[in-house]
Amino acid sequence: MVNFGYHLARARGRAVRRLYARNLRGVVGRKVVPRTEIPFEVYSYSGEAALPEQVASIRSFLRHAGRPIRFTVVSDGTYTTSSLDLLKAIDPCVALSAASDWTPSDASGKLRTYLTTHPTGKQLALIMSLPAGAPTLYVDSDVLFFQGAAVLTALTNNTTAPAHYLADCQVSADERLFHGPAERENPVNTGVLFLSQKLDWQAGISRFLELEEEPNFFTNQTITHLAMHANGARPLDPQKFVLQLDDQFVYPDRYAGPAIALRHYVNPVRHKFWTSLTR
């Protein structure tokens, strides 16, 4: 039997994204009035292929969370000049940077190659360099914020953990880096991280250096998972900071709404990013 709800949701998502992408200049021209000023920085790593998502994500953050000290978009190197200009025009707090600006100075050999040439390795280089000053929220471009995002300001008052992470709904990892099943518990997703202080990354880096084969898409997330747990990081409330796949094959978004702070729309549910854009 054909799942009409699922296919209709995907078709609607494609149509909304296409329309949004065609009218990006008009979208950016409609200025967002931030709900408040918030005392931390925000960073996001993305490229030209994710421009519509990045614009929508920033605008949802301003509307529902507020204006941060700075919202820096770190380019993977593919953004065009016109796209960078468009991002900068969203709000005065938006700043731009290149991935090459974030390679840790003490990285060498195999690790440096990974952090400077691999797409998700470049993302890891940025995360490893944060916070650069003030407490910092790192978010992927496919994260939408909702009315409950006001709770983000409370994270700056946290003194019990050096970082908080988005709890994954399943283990999405480079299994080669684990030394045993216990290390797979409480999976970390790199789509949303709040860093109050710099972390010691040795627990993750040492596993990477043991790896004899080439890194894969999830190597960076697994390094981050190991480092987060080694440093005593804590999960964000999964009821408010959502990463779920259990509504992938139904029409509605079961989670979008005023009760949540954000949802990370990973690839299997990416179409719901667009069907929930106006929620």
Longest dimension (CA), the chain: 56
Pick from 157, 175, 151, 176: nearest CA to 238: 151
Q: Strand order in 94-98's β-sheet?
A: 94-98, 71-75, 41-46, 136-139, 188-195, 163-167, 234-235
Q: How much of the chain exceeds pLDDT 90, in percent?
A: 94
275, 274, 279, 276: which is closest to 50 by C-alpha? 274
Listed residue (76, 42, 47) closest to 61, CA to CA: 42
pLDDT confidence of residue 160: 84
Tens digits of residue pLDDT in 86-123: 999 999 999 999 999 999 988 999 999 999 999 999 99
Are the CB atoms for 151 and 261 separated by under 8 Å? yes
Tally of structural domains, the chain: 1
Model pLDDT for residues 72-82, shown as the tens digit of each residue = 999 999 999 99
Listed in sequence order, the residues at least 6 apart from 153 whose beta carbon sits closer than 8 Å to its beta carbon are 36, 38, 39, 65, 66
State both tokens at 153.
Answer: 């300001």
d(CA 240, CA 167): 11
| DSSP labels, 65-85 | T-B-S-EEEEE-S---HHHHH
Residue 64 has a pLDDT of: 97
Please give the pLDDT value at position 66. Answer: 97
Q: What is the pLDDT of residue 157?
A: 85
87-99 burial string, b = 16+ CB within 10 Å, else e?
beebbebbeeeeb
Q: Output the pLDDT for position 156.
A: 87
Contact criterion met (CB below 8 Å) for 44 and 73: yes
User: Residue 52: its pLDDT value, please?
Assistant: 98
Q: What is the pLDDT of residue 1?
A: 75
The domain of 170 spans: 4-275
pLDDT, mean of each 10-residue run, the chain (279 residues): 89 97 97 95 98 98 98 97 98 97 93 96 97 95 97 87 97 97 97 96 97 96 98 97 97 96 98 92
Residue 48 makes CB contacts below 8 A (sequence gap 6+) with 78, 79, 80, 83
Q: 24 to each of 144, 177, 258, how far by Cα in Å? A: 17, 41, 25
Looking up residue 140, the CATH number of its domain turns out to be 3.90.550.10
